[in-house]
């Protein structure tokens, strides 16, 4: 199981694969972000997107799925997150794209108020099948300490 002590500042990781489908783009947008360029081909064609595109929030949700699968693979002793410092959508995500993730641990520290918990900050880039970064975020993860 991966604990705080196993996290190395500067370490990098590549993981995930998520195939973006038209049906999922429309279903997500219908439920959570019903803007025309996420729902309708004709409306999307008239925008700078040029065609139907996924909501940025859908991109976040797909990314979260890949992150959770990675944490399960590593059996990470994760405890959630206090939040995201920075989130940027850099390029549209389209049906037919396949997304993947790259991460880098920026820093880490022990919690002063909770001796059983550590925090680590990382930069996560989400790339499409062409290697183009479509989203980037910096966030903090909470993780159990092996021996508090």
Distance CA 29, CA 41 (A): 13
**pLDDT of amino acid 147:** 86
pTM: 0.94
Sign of CA dihedral 13, 15, 21, 24: negative
Tens of pLDDT, residues 13-35: 999 999 999 999 999 999 999 99
User: How far is Cα of residue 28 from the mean position of the Cα atoms in its chain?
Assistant: 16
Tokens of 51: 């065609």
Give the CA distances from residue 130 to residues 93, 97, 113, in Å, rounded to whole numbers and listed in that order: 12, 9, 44
Domains of the chain as residue ranges with CATH: 4-20+54-144 (3.10.129.10)
Nearest to 5 by CA among 122, 139, 116, 106: 116
Residues, the chain: 148
Per-residue pLDDT of the chain (148 residues; tens, 9 = 90+): 999 999 999 999 999 999 999 999 999 999 999 999 999 999 999 999 999 999 999 999 999 999 999 998 889 999 999 999 999 999 999 999 999 999 999 999 999 999 999 999 999 999 999 999 999 999 999 999 998 8
**pLDDT of amino acid 13:** 97
């Amino acid at each position: 199981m991966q604990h705080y002590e196993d996290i190395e500042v500067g370490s990098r990781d590549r993981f995930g694969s998520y195939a973006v489908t038209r049906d999922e783009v429309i279903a997500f947008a219908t439920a959570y972000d019903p803007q025309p360029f996420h729902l309708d081909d004709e409306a999307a064609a008239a925008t700078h997107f040029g065609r139907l595109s996924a909501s940025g929030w859908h991109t976040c949700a797909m990314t979260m799925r890949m992150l959770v699968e990675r944490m399960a693979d590593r059996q990470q002793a994760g405890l959630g997150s206090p939040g995201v410092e920075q989130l940027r959508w850099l390029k549209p995500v389209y049906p037919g794209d396949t997304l993947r993730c790259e991460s880098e641990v920026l820093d880490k520290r022990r919690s002063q108020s909770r001796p059983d918990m550590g925090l680590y900050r990382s930069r996560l880039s989400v790339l499409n099948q062409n290697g183009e970064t479509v989203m980037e975020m910096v966030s903090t993860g909470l993780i159990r300490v092996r021996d508090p």
